[in-house]
Structure 1
Amino acid sequence: MSPFVEESGGGDPVGTPGPTALKNYIAIELRRLREAAGFKPDDAARRIGKAKTVIFHIETGRNLPAPADLEVLLNLYGTPERVPFFRELIKTAKKGTDWWMGFTSTVPEWFNLYLGLESAAARISSFDALWVPGLFQKREYAEALYRAGEQRMTDEQVSKAVELRLARQAIITRDDEPPRIWCVLDENALRRQVGGPEVMRSQLDHLIKLNELPNVDIQILTHRSGAHAGAEGTFALLDYPTEFVGASGTAYVESRQQGIYYDPPDQVEDFRRIFERLQVQAEKPERTPELISIAAKDTT
């Protein structure tokens, strides 16, 4: 099933691209088409008879283009054949509902886009330097992280944050084309006891089970690897289904205060090269169960 097919019933389920992901793709693709055709934002604005800010808002995903403007712009860019596709995309984006709307009090504004892109991704490649990534965390592990890092959170806030993290994991085993997930995990994440020995052993056992899934690969970057390509820290690289024509993917880096999104092709390619080097520097996937089991035995 295409990720653009509208679901019946209530809001879109986890794993179905919602308005946030679709608006982001429309924005990036219209900007790419404009630049490929050699036009500046001023040129596009003049052609539709509107202010330059209208183009800016369309190309940053703030607003969807009006149907009439869309047709004019795609004709200007030399791609009139894509008008029906974009019209359907805009229609779907307007009718859809992002699956995490019930968790809005827990989600920082800058993280909304990542949740949307993660749901839409056909492949998720990540390097995690300190912790087990959110998509792989068990409830007790996630709760221990939140309580250690956010002492001001109430029990209710912690509970909602953990539920959101667990809800994201539905994409791993969804029936309709689950994403290919490849994680290079630093050995530090296996050795750092989050929540105590019992919680950590359970989390490590969960990693072994996840690694057995056909769409999940975990590699361990051991301490003996020494200096490595991921020295600058954790990142995720998201690639999208073939329906997202022209999309080069998105690289995502997160700090305590904000999430940073890189979508220009040259920047995405830079992260892709780093990830490929990490895959070479990490232990072979075949060794992953053994390495995790050793870490579990050492957890006392």
Structure 2
Amino acid sequence: MPEDSSTTLPRRQLGRYLREAREGINMNLEDVAPLLQLSVSTLSRIERGLTGVRVPDVEALCRIYGIDDSETVAGLVGLARQSAGKSWWQAFDDVMSRNFDLYVGFESSAKKLTIYRPDMLSGLFQTPDYARALDRIYLPDVSDEARDRRIQLKKKRQALITRKTKPALVDLVVHESVLHTTVGGSKVMREQLNRLANMPANVTVSVLPFSAGFPVGASTGPFTILEFGEDTRGREVSPTVVYVESYAGDLYLERPKDVNRYRQAYDAIRQSSLDVASSKRLVRRIAAREYQA
């Protein structure tokens, strides 16, 4: 998977710029949408980077907002054309929900992921056998072909952290209970834990031990903080997103106060975790002792 193959990031960059330009001249969505013969909800989705926008509409918005610098207009048109492309994961629409499609778009564009998993390993770290064992329980009625497609999707996602050119940075904390929770049997767990202990240098793995209790004072559930890097002026290329995963549905949080709250929670969890070297030793010890052949 080539770096930055996602259409999500250019959509979000374009939407952010268009929103700021609209707000800069004190127009609201209800003022602008009729001028383009768009619904307010469609224009809102464009500004949030949830859908692409036609080049003529971008050019019309530039005229409405008084953007007359030719280089700026050309840059916005370029973003519109990039966002109209097809992302690699769209080939997996048959085995992926619409909500998770959004997450994969964010993930594939991320430069850094900060992940806490108190329950199980996320797809970025799962071996095929670990993933298949989970799917047999979670999706008992799907075909073997569909399960294989889901494994292929995970492998494509994992290229984000295993590629040789500019892999994403990942800071992962897993709860110790994840290491003791058997998925697929001893052989599967031994392979999975050994992979976890041998992640590439761009991935740090820490274990939150049972003895740490609840560092935040409550159970946060699993979450991922996704960051997209900075431009040459030190400004975020795209706002940081917190992905909060649950059985009932997923949340995507972007408000600074929400992002900061999860950063603070992660910092507390990380400080209560074992250091990286001790974590690796623990993972290997559990793999050898609890999941013997």
Query: Which TM bucket (shorter chain)?
Result: 0.7 to 0.9
Q: How many residues align?
A: 284
Q: 1:201 to 1:90 in 2, by over 3 A?
A: same
Q: 1:196 to 1:36 in 2, by over 3 A?
A: farther
Which amino acid letter does the alignment assign opposite residue 106 of structure 1?
V
Q: 1:50 to 1:206 in 2, by over 3 A?
A: closer
Correspondent of 2:12 among 1, 6, 24: 24
The CA RMSD measured in Å over matched residues stands at 2.6
Which amino acid letter does the alignment assign opposite residue 209 of structure 2?
T
What corresponds to 2:239 in structure 1? 248
The whole-number CA distance in structure 1 between the counterparts of 2:180 and 2:205 is 16
The whole-number CA distance in structure 1 between the counterparts of 2:66 and 2:142 is 51
Structure 1 residue 159 displacement after superposition: 1.3
Equivalence map 1:106-145=2 (5 Å): 106-145=95-134
Question: Does 1:219 pair with 2:206?
Answer: yes
Decide which moves more: 47-56 or 237-246: 47-56
TM-score, length basis structure 1: 0.84
Correspondent of 1:59 among 35, 47, 59: 47
Q: 1:146 to 1:87 in 2, by over 3 A?
A: same
Identity of aligned residues (%): 25
Correspondent of 2:194 among 188, 192, 205: 205
Correspondent of 2:260 among 262, 269, 286: 269
Which amino acid letter does the alignment assign opposite residue 205 of structure 1?
N
Structure 1 residue 285 displacement after superposition: 1.7
The whole-number CA distance in structure 2 between the counterparts of 1:27 and 1:203 is 40
The whole-number CA distance in structure 1 between the counterparts of 2:37 and 2:99 is 32
Which amino acid letter does the alignment assign opposite residue 240 of structure 1?
F
Q: 1:81 to 1:295 in 2, by over 3 A?
A: same
The whole-number CA distance in structure 2 between the counterparts of 1:159 and 1:50 is 40
TM-score, length basis structure 2: 0.86
The SS at the match of 2:11 is helix
The whole-number CA distance in structure 1 between the counterparts of 2:282 and 2:23 is 47
The SS at the match of 1:146 is helix
The SS at the match of 1:104 is helix
Which amino acid letter does the alignment assign opposite residue 78 of structure 2?
E
Correspondent of 2:66 among 34, 52, 75: 75
> Mind listing any 5+ residue stretches in structure 2 that lack a counterpart?
none
What corresponds to 2:88 in structure 1? 99
The whole-number CA distance in structure 1 between the counterparts of 2:20 and 2:260 is 16
The whole-number CA distance in structure 1 between the counterparts of 2:261 and 2:169 is 20
